[in-house]
């Protein structure tokens, strides 16, 4: 990766390769690592060992972390359940509510651009006789609240809509969604993985009943997350999906990952303290990247709403360029392409298709995920590199030549030979 040759070409202040895929995962903040380290070594107790100091010490660390997570999202510490990460939290929330409230109804509402952890969980429930409505999104990536209202009926028990999209960074109007749900007596779950710790998110102000959180998206460790479950107005009950020793108030059995939980807590504490300032800095870096790309290249456009968006996310299409070729050309920069990373086939991303983008445009899309440790020098390097590679690839593209000459590609009848 960071070979000597690559290092030589890097301008001052830039170390290659550059990481710009912070929506996929984020590097561990060294302050988080420092908080975790003792719980791997000297403070190794099991938080469920109630009869000696090693267990009490671990339990105390877990409870401190519970408070740190709760404070970040405006919850009560008793409403936080620790899990192995967002996928488990999503599964526990959706299946847990479906099972607990099945006598009240069997209808769940979600949207087509949810994370697979939500979509595949809903698909599983359909096999068990639940009805699921998948709301479409508008061209800007937002759902239409009118669609949501129309979809609700007397059998609706849960609405699950993510706070911020992992691919296009779009922020859904969760406060309004939550209000509509509460008016109808329907529970509202949000996958808040990309939003919590990055933008203002408060479970009470935003009318949220259940929320999924992951540590590794906010500079914490992988393999640990949390589920917020509201305790009053309304009191939400969920059926456990993992049975065992009744840990986490019976909702999630299993020996707690104490070092991971300590790391999640510390990551939440840092995010709460630094979020506003960090958000402004990331927005400025993102807008600088966007401006540089748009000023040097034609036929580029941003996917998803710019007004309602995560500060560090920029998802752009570079039309008449194949995304995979572009990724190879900028192989010293870690970003994601508009092809679904979940499969070996180069299917275009279902999120981008849901916005109404054609396969060719979706395939030419790149997600830049800026984060806490990215610098202005890195942004300038990446912008210059992308511009250079896109221009070179377009020189090889007959389609781009034709468009520049004013030929309407939609009118061409291609001859089969």
Sign of the C-alpha dihedral, residues 183, 187, 191, 192? positive
Residue 263: CB atoms within 10 Å: 30
Is residue 417 very low, low, confident or very high in pLDDT (cuts 50, 70, 90)?
Answer: low
Is residue 414 very low, low, confident or very high in pLDDT (cuts 50, 70, 90)?
Answer: confident
pTM to 2 decimals?
A: 0.95
What local confidence, expressed as pLDDT, does residue 391 receive?
97
Same domain, 64 and 90: yes
CATH of the domain at 91: 3.40.640.10
Same domain, 90 and 207: yes
Same domain, 161 and 293: no
Q: Would 241 be classed as within a structural domain? A: yes
Same domain, 158 and 201: yes
The answer to whether residue 13 scores a pLDDT higher than 90 is no
Q: Would 416 be classed as within a structural domain? A: no
The answer to whether residue 331 scores a pLDDT higher than 60 is yes
Q: What is the pLDDT of residues 233-262, one digit of tens each?
A: 999 999 999 999 999 999 999 999 999 999
- Which domain covers residue 278, as residue numbers? 4-27+274-411
Q: What is the pLDDT of residues 53-88, one digit of tens each?
A: 999 999 999 999 999 999 999 999 999 999 999 999
The answer to whether residue 343 scores a pLDDT higher than 90 is no
Q: Would 175 be classed as within a structural domain? A: yes
Q: Is 341 a catalytic residue?
A: yes
Q: Would 107 be classed as within a structural domain? A: yes
Q: What is the pLDDT of residues 191-238, one digit of tens each?
A: 999 999 999 999 999 999 999 999 999 999 999 999 999 999 999 999
Q: Would 417 be classed as within a structural domain? A: no
What six digits make up the tokens of 338?
A: 């508009």
DSSP-assigned states of every residue in 158-202: EEE--SB-TTT-BB--HHHHHHHHHHTT-EEEEE-TTTBTTB---
Alpha helices in 330-375 (DSSP H): 350-354, 359-363
Judge whether 387 and 292 are in contact, CB under 8 Å.
Answer: yes
Which residue is catalytic, options 122, 181, 268, 341? 341
Q: What is the pLDDT of residues 171-194, one digit of tens each?
A: 999 999 999 999 999 999 999 999
Our count of domains for the chain comes to 2
CATH of the domain at 295: 3.90.1150.10
Same domain, 202 and 321: no
Q: For the chain, give the percent of residues with pLDDT over 90.
A: 87
């Amino acid at each position: 990766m960071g070979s000597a040759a690559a290092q030589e070409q890097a301008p001052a202040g830039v170390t290659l390769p550059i990481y710009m895929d912070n929506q996929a995962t984020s590097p561990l903040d060294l302050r988080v690592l420092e908080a975790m380290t003792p719980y791997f070594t000297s403070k190794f107790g099991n938080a469920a060992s109630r009869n000696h100091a090693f267990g009490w010490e671990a339990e105390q660390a877990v409870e401190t972390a519970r408070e740190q997570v709760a404070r970040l999202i405006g919850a009560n510490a008793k409403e936080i359940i620790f899990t192995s990460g967002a996928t488990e939290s999503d599964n526990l929330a959706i299946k847990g509510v479906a099972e607990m409230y099945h006598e009240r109804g069997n209808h769940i509402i979600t949207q087509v651009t949810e994370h697979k952890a939500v979509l595949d969980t809903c698909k599983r429930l359909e096999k068990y006789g639940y009805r699921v409505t998948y709301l479409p999104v508008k061209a800007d990536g937002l759902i239409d609240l009118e669609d949501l209202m129309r979809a609700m009926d007397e059998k609706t028990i849960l609405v699950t809509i993510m706070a911020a999209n992992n691919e296009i960074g779009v922020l859904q109007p969760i406060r309004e969604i939550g209000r509509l749900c509460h008016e109808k007596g329907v529970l509202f779950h949000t996958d808040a993985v990309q939003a919590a710790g990055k933008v203002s998110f408060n479970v009470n102000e935003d009318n949220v009943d259940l929320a999924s959180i992951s540590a590794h998206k906010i500079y914490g460790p992988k393999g640990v997350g949390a589920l917020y479950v509201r305790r009053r107005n309304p009191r939400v009950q969920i059926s456990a999906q993992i049975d065992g020793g009744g840990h986490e108030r019976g909702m999630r059995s299993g020996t707690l990952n104490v070092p991971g939980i300590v790391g999640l807590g510390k990551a939440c504490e840092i995010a709460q303290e630094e979020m506003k300032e960090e958000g402004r800095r990331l927005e400025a870096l993102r807008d600088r990247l966007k401006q540089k790309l748009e000023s040097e290249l034609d036929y580029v456009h941003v996917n998803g709403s710019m007004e309602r968006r995560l500060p560090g996310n920029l998802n752009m299409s570079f039309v008449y360029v194949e995304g995979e070729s572009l990724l190879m050309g900028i192989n010293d920069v870690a970003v994601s392409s508009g092809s679904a990373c979940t499969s070996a086939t180069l299917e275009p991303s279902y999120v981008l298709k849901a916005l109404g983008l054609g396969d060719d445009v979706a395939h030419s899309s790149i997600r830049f995920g800026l984060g806490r440790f990215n610098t202005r020098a890195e942004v300038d390097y990446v912008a210059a590199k992308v511009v250079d590679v896109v221009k070179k690839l377009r020189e090889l593209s007959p389609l781009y030549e034709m468009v520049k000459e004013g030929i309407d590609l939609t009118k061409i009848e291609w001859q089969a030979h």
